[in-house]
Amino acid sequence: MNKQLRMAIQLRRKGECKKALNIILNLLKSYPDDSLLNYHCAWTYDNFGKERKAISHYEKALQNGLNKKQKEAAFIGLASSYRCIGQYKKAHKILLRANKEFSKNRALRIFLAMTLYNLRKYHHSMSLLVRELAETSSDHNISNYRKAFLFYHDKLDRVWNK
């Protein structure tokens, strides 16, 4: 199984997702609960833009155990898939859980900001994005205003009357 899975991963990396998916789906017939196979099946479906098919595989992979790096990526994939199909509340719930578990992953906060936008929580969404941009950008124009961005990120609606 490992050799076939490695081949499928290589094919997906080369953009040959259909061939990769066929290998993984055949493996899943024999190992339907295998977390790693479900994880890679979901990822491959995602590459096809088939988020609805990816979701059940991400969920099964997360239920059956993944290593830390895979779990982190599976949370992103699952939440992103839910967001893409308009299931914003489910995406939000997953992203909150993932952000607690993987608090150093800034990509999770960006996906959370996008989901908050979809939930019409614009202030919180913008606040997250401005803070992440200020804290991570190497652009000198943004760096010059880092302190201001960090100060204002959570005060977007405030008006000063001085």
Residue 28, pLDDT > 70, answer: yes
Q: List, for residues 104-122, the tens digit of each pLDDT value.
A: 999 999 999 999 999 999 9
Q: Which two tokens stand for residue 148?
A: 């201001």
Give the residue extent of every domain in the chain: 2-104, 121-162
* Predicted local distance difference test score (pLDDT) of residue 1: 64
Average pLDDT of 79-90? 97
* Predicted local distance difference test score (pLDDT) of residue 64: 83
What is the CB-side half-sphere exposure of residue 57 using CA atoms within 13 A? 25
Residue 100, pLDDT > 90, answer: yes
Least Cα distance to 58 among 18, 29, 98, 20 occurs for 98
* Predicted local distance difference test score (pLDDT) of residue 161: 84
The CB density around residue 36, as the number of other CB atoms within 10 Å, is: 19
pTM passes above 0.85:
yes
Q: List, for residues 135-161, the tens digit of each pLDDT value.
A: 999 999 999 999 999 999 999 888 888
Task: Indicate if the alpha-carbon torsion angle 100, 101, 102, 107 is positive or negative.
Answer: negative
Query: In terms of pLDDT, which residue wins out, 73 or 162?
Result: 73
Q: Judging by beta carbons within 10 Å of its beta carbon (0-12, 13-18, 19+), is residue 22 exposed, middle or buried? A: middle
Q: List, for residues 33-48, the tens digit of each pLDDT value.
A: 999 999 999 999 998 8
> Does domain 2-104 correspond to CATH entry 1.10.287.40?
no
Average pLDDT of 21-27? 95
Task: For the chain, give percent helix, strand, coil, nearest 5.
Answer: 75, 0, 25
Q: Give per-residue burial for 75-104: e unless 16+ CB within 10 Å, then b.
A: bbbbbbbbbbeebbebbbebbeebbeebee
